[in-house]
């Protein structure tokens, strides 16, 4: 039983720590390794619009495949990373970036979780029976 448990645990750990579980098709890979690494890095930062919580590097959706090919074409044409990110942001909006920039229109996205956390602490604190006894 212990041996089976260790085997299952090792399989699970290997699966979670594997970086080769991407959905990249062999015909998408660029021959130039530097360009391919740039394409992979960009793809890891672009959200799949179908899956929404996966990067296009991890997704096997047809749109993700099209975006990976588009990124590789832009790299082959000599575009730098900023130009590729700008092109994708202009076309799909900031939502396509897994790490959206801090702008006026994304302030709520960045700061509302902290505001709600503070509100939650205040609600918990003031509704605590021990705290109410101390105040009385």
Has residue 19 got a pLDDT over 60? Answer: no
Q: What is the pTM of this model?
A: 0.66
Distance from chain centroid for Cα 14: 21
Q: What is the pLDDT of residues 42-69, one digit of tens each?
A: 999 999 989 878 999 998 899 999 999 9
pLDDT-derived band at 134 (thresholds 50, 70, 90) equals low
Alpha carbon dihedral 54, 57, 59, 60, in 10-degree steps, equals 170
pLDDT of residue 124: 86
pLDDT of residue 20: 47
Distance from chain centroid for Cα 132: 43
Has residue 12 got a pLDDT over 70? Answer: yes
Dihedral sign (CA 49, 53, 55, 58): negative
Comparing CA positions, the residue from 46, 58, 69 lying closest to residue 19 is 58
pLDDT of residue 130: 67
**Where does the chain have alpha helices with state H?**
2-17, 33-44, 62-76, 81-92, 107-126, 129-135
CB atoms within 10 A of CB 72: 20
pLDDT of residue 21: 46
Q: What is the pLDDT of residues 77-96, one digit of tens each?
A: 999 999 999 999 999 988 89
Phi-psi region of 88 (alpha: psi -120 to 50; beta: other; left: phi over 0): alpha
The mean pLDDT of 5-23, rounded to a whole number, is: 66
């Amino acid at each position: 039983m212990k041996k089976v448990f260790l085997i299952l645990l090792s399989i699970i750990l290997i699966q979670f720590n594997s970086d080769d579980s991407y959905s990249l098709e062999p015909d998408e890979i660029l021959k130039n390794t530097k360009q391919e690494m740039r394409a992979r890095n960009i793809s890891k930062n672009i959200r799949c619009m179908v899956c929404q919580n996966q990067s296009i590097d991890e997704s096997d959706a047809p749109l993700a495949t099209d975006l990976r090919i588009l990124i590789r074409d832009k790299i082959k044409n000599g575009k730098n990373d900023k130009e590729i990110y700008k092109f994708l942001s202009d076309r799909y909006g900031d939502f396509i970036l897994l790490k959206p920039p801090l702008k006026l229109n994304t302030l709520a996205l960045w700061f509302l979780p902290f505001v709600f956390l503070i509100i939650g602490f205040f609600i918990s604190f003031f509704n605590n029976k021990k705290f109410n006894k101390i105040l009385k």
